[in-house]
Structure 1
Amino acid sequence: MPRFAANLSMMYTEHDFLDRFGAAAKDGFQAVEYLFPYDHPAAEIRKRLDEHGLTQALFNAPPGDWAAGERGTAALPGRETEFRSGFARALEYASVIGNDRIHVMAGLVPADADRARCRAVYLENLAYAAASAAAHGVTVLIEPINTRDMPGYFLNLQGDGQAICQQVGAANLLVQFDCYHCQIMEGDIAKKLQRDFAGIGHIQIAGVPERHEPDIGELNYPYLFDVIDQLGYQGWIGCEYRPRAGTSEGLGWLKPYLTRR
């Protein structure tokens, strides 16, 4: 049976960030994820997790200057030192917070960029991150992201993500499979989950095309949840969507799964 993690960067935004942990637990979530923890002390986040009996499923390594529009540095030539120091900071947070998965964002690449050079830097940085993370029992994740929401993002397709992981060859480097991004870019989600399952380290969901609740839009998530169960997935499914109205009011889709649990 699927296990769901509330994404606190998109959900419960009617509350201050540190209050979102309690709100998610009150609604029945047993785990949380979010983009970045770095605006708050790691110990304070751990306190909220422990207070509400929550598991930290995932967060992202520092992405560069997010406010200025940057979306990662892993595939950006000349930013290697920044990437490595940022990843070290992510590991420090993970050691306190207790999660074993860190998502590394590739970054935005100009249309005229030397993609071969960007790929080489990406591979080098991922190999470094995976080796550093292995000593802490942490898995590094990369995520194909759609070009509609994030034009210029370096990694867009599931097959490319799997190929990059295979080329790096680290057992703790896996793909973060976001059904929303995959549907927009490629479709055929069930078959891709089946094809790539051995290389998938985390799954996320949202309705398509508006990125609202998973019971809104063109995807049949009950069917996909059955597929995921049949594959034997034991991880968390991150709910990375923007509630159409209030977060709690839109959780009707979740209640049958909480009842079954």
Structure 2
Amino acid sequence: MPRLAANLSMMYTEHPFLERFAAAARDGFRAVEFLFPYEHPAAEIRARLDAHGLAQALFNAPPGDWQAGERGIASLPGRQDEFRRGLDQALEYAARLGNRSLHVMAGLIAPGQDRAAHRAAYLENLDYAARLAAGAGITIVIEPINPRDMPGFFLTRQDEAQAVRAVLDAANLKVQFDCYHCQIVEGDLTMKLRRDMAGIGHIQIAGVPDRHEPDLGELNYPYLFEQIDALGYDGWIGCEYRPRAGTSAGLGWARPYLNRGA
């Protein structure tokens, strides 16, 4: 049975951010995730989690200059010191919020840039991140993202991400399996889940191709949930989609899972 986490960066955007926790809890969610917490003191977010009985499932380490178009810095040569400072901040927030998973975004690579240099920086930063996070009991997750939504993203395929994980051989480095991104780039989700489940640290869902509710589009999520259960995954499944209309009104697909609890 899927344990669903509401993604508060995409869902409940009809409310101010700090009010989204209460809205998610009212609808039956027992966990939340979001992109970045850094605009708010950790204590404010923790107060919302505690007040509404919510677990924090996941958030991202600082991504560089998001407003200027950066989408992570882990693979950017020459940004190692900035990456380490951001990781320290992320781990401080994780300690306050209680989540055990932290997403590190790879970043963008422009045409003509040296991919080998980006890969070397990526491996160096991830090795550092995994070693530092291990002391805090935190798992670092890396995510392939489709090039239609994020052109130029360094990591686009599940097998590429699993290969990075294999090179570093860190027990607390896992891959984030976003069904939406994987379907757009690769398809054949069931076989990839079966192949890679031992190395998957977090799962996210959305309808394909429009990234609306999971019951809209070409993926059969009830079937995928059965497969995920059968493979022994017991982590949170993040609902990282843009509701077509109001968030609560579009949760018909989730009611059977939310009503049974986490």
Taking structure 1 as the reference length, the TM-score comes to 0.99
Alignment of 1:104-253 (within 5 A): 104-253=104-253
Alignment match, 2:40: 40
Amino acid at match of 2:124: E
Amino acid at match of 1:96: R
Amino acid at match of 1:236: W
**Secondary structure of the equivalent of 1:194?**
helix
Amino acid at match of 2:4: F
Alignment match, 1:28: 28
Alignment match, 2:83: 83
CA distance in 2, matches of 1:177, 1:55: 20
CA distance in 2, matches of 1:129, 1:256: 38
Question: What fraction of aligned residue pairs are identical, expressed as a percent?
Answer: 72
On the 8 A contact 2:109/2:152 being kept in 1, the answer is yes
CA distance in 1, matches of 2:178, 2:259: 25
Amino acid at match of 2:28: G
**Secondary structure of the equivalent of 1:113?**
coil
CA distance in 2, matches of 1:21, 1:258: 15
Give the C-alpha shift of residue 259 in structure 1: 3.4
**Secondary structure of the equivalent of 1:11?**
coil
**Secondary structure of the equivalent of 1:241?**
coil
RMSD: 0.6
Give the C-alpha shift of residue 258 in structure 1: 2.5
**Secondary structure of the equivalent of 1:227?**
helix
Amino acid at match of 2:185: M
Report which stretch shifted further, 250-259 or 160-169: 250-259
Within the alignment, does 1:13 sit opposite 2:17 as a pair? no
CA distance in 1, matches of 2:172, 2:258: 30
CA distance in 1, matches of 2:205, 2:137: 26
Give the C-alpha shift of residue 260 in structure 1: 4.0
**Secondary structure of the equivalent of 1:5?**
strand
**Secondary structure of the equivalent of 1:174?**
strand
On the 8 A contact 2:28/2:259 being kept in 1, the answer is no
CA distance in 1, matches of 2:126, 2:191: 27
CA distance in 2, matches of 1:69, 1:27: 33
Amino acid at match of 1:11: M
On the 8 A contact 2:4/2:258 being kept in 1, the answer is no
CA distance in 2, matches of 1:260, 1:90: 32
Alignment match, 1:95: 95
Give the C-alpha shift of residue 37 in structure 1: 0.1
**Structure 2 residue ranges without an equivalent (≥5):** none
**Secondary structure of the equivalent of 1:245?**
coil
Alignment match, 2:257: 257
Amino acid at match of 2:242: R
Give the C-alpha shift of residue 253 in structure 1: 0.1
Alignment match, 1:49: 49
Deviation beyond 4 Å, 4+ runs, structure 1: none
CA distance in 1, matches of 2:63, 2:80: 12
**Greater relative contact order (CA < 8 Å, ≥ 6 in sequence):** 2
**Structure 1 residue ranges without an equivalent (≥5):** none
CA distance in 1, matches of 2:145, 2:219: 17
1:159-204 CA-to-partner distances (Å, cap 9, x unmatched) read: 0000001101110000000000000000000110000000000000
Within the alignment, does 1:65 sit opposite 2:31 as a pair? no
Amino acid at match of 1:35: L
**Secondary structure of the equivalent of 1:177?**
strand
Taking structure 2 as the reference length, the TM-score comes to 0.99
1:89-128 CA-to-partner distances (Å, cap 9, x unmatched) read: 0000001111111000000111111101100110000000
Amino acid at match of 1:58: L
Aligned length, in residue pairs:
261
